Amino acid sequence: MSTSPRQRAPRKDGLANREKILNHAEEYFSEHHLDASLHALVDQIGVGIGTLYRHFPTRDDLIRALYDRQVARMVEVFEAAAAIEDGWEAVVTAIDGILDLLIRYPGAPHIAARVAATAPDGPPQAQGQQQVLEIVSRAHAQGAIRPDVTAVDLAHIPTMLESILRLPEPARGIVLARQRAIILDGIRPQAVTTPLPATPLTGEDLHHLAHRKRTHTTPRHRDN
């Protein structure tokens, strides 16, 4: 008979609380900032601060869990794209999939930057690299993208478009659709004329846009 202590499986209510905290924290940090009050966070969730610290002893632990969650989503996008045989469709699926994650989870870039800055062993190794390499290799083999376009180029396209997401609507949708079309044409192996979506903004539109208050929440409080 073994004398080693039996490891207990996590209780269902404990796992549910952990997911509940992560779900709320993701939205909360997007609306405020990564140093916003954790007491205000648990008040919104309806759990005690002790419950939060039981699952995430430090703020960095909570942020790292959110980071791991978003990395898993990105890997799913790249795996789905890598399974597509058509090289061009795979490239577009990967770009649009990551861009969709940035739209749904606007705090993701800040979380990634915080983890990279606070990781004791340096920035975490990027996951999904193999899938991205497969996507680009297939697209090259099929002549779907320029031979000088790399996996790094592909990975940075959603990041470039992410800045547009901070614009207010309807400008955001117009600018995003046009810039996406321009960038996609730019990675094709030869000049391709694609009708640009939507009507371009005028100089007057841009002037008003530049002086219009952006739709974001100003940080309100800080937790020490």
pLDDT one-digit tens code per residue, 66-108: 999 999 999 999 999 999 999 999 999 999 999 999 999 999 9
According to the model, what pLDDT value does residue 218 have? 39
According to the model, what pLDDT value does residue 18 have? 93
Q: What is the mean pLDDT of residues 43-52?
A: 93
Mean pLDDT lowest among 4-8, 10-14, 29-33, 147-151 = 4-8
According to the model, what pLDDT value does residue 118 have? 85
Report the distance separating Cα 173 and Cα 115, nearest Å.
30
Confidence of residue 114 (pLDDT cuts 50, 70, 90): very high
pLDDT of residue 216 exceeding 50? no
DSSP string across 170-189: THHHHHHHHHHHHHHHHTSS
Mean pLDDT lowest among 26-30, 118-122, 136-140 = 118-122
According to the model, what pLDDT value does residue 13 have? 64
Residue 55's closest CA among 23, 84, 101? 23
According to the model, what pLDDT value does residue 26 have? 94
Residue 28's closest CA among 15, 45, 12? 45
Report the distance separating Cα 136 and Cα 206, nearest Å.
35
Say what the pTM is: 0.78
Confidence of residue 12 (pLDDT cuts 50, 70, 90): low
Confidence of residue 212 (pLDDT cuts 50, 70, 90): low
- CATH number, span 58-210: 1.10.357.10
According to the model, what pLDDT value does residue 128 have? 82
pLDDT of residue 141 exceeding 80? yes
> How do the domains of the chain map onto residue ranges?
58-210
